Amino acid sequence: MKMSDKLRLNRYSNIEAVIEAVENKGRTLRKKKNIERVLYSDFIGRKEYLEIAFNLLKKSSTGNGQILLVEGITGIGKTRLLKEIEYRLFLEGKDIQYIRISDKEKQGFDWLMRLLERIG
């Protein structure tokens, strides 16, 4: 089922896609060739962080999977970095999973369980 598919790329990307599917039920839908989400700001700097992320990805494809942990103070660009990585991987047809962890969640391993559940 498209709403609960294990691979995020196979699911509906937003509520508009769900509404469109319901409205067009029974009709043949044309496939959209749009990217999942357009990033409206240029990605400037942090080239070294992108290289680290993509080097980890290369290692994971050879059976040496790793977790990339991104942390820092508010407003430093963590989410923007992750969105850029997600965008570039999406263009390559790959799936990426990440979670947000609050300070109090860092103490236990609940965050790890949530991540493993997302991965499937």
Nearest Cα neighbor of 37 from 2, 88, 100, 94 is 88
CB 60 within 8 A of CB 75: no
87 within a domain of the structure (yes/no): yes
Regarding predicted confidence, which is higher, 36 or 46? 46
| Count: domains in the chain | 1
Instruction: Encode pLDDT of 66-77 as tens digits.
Output: 777 888 898 888
Specify if 2 maps to a domain.
no
Report the pLDDT value the prediction gives residue 93, as an integer from 0 to 100: 84
Q: What's the rounded mean pLDDT across residues 6-13? A: 71
Q: Which of 72, 71, 77 has the alpha carbon at shortest distance from 45?
A: 77
Question: Does a structural domain hold residue 21?
Answer: yes
Structural element, H or E, at residue 48: helix 47-61
What residue type is 118 in one-letter code?
Answer: R
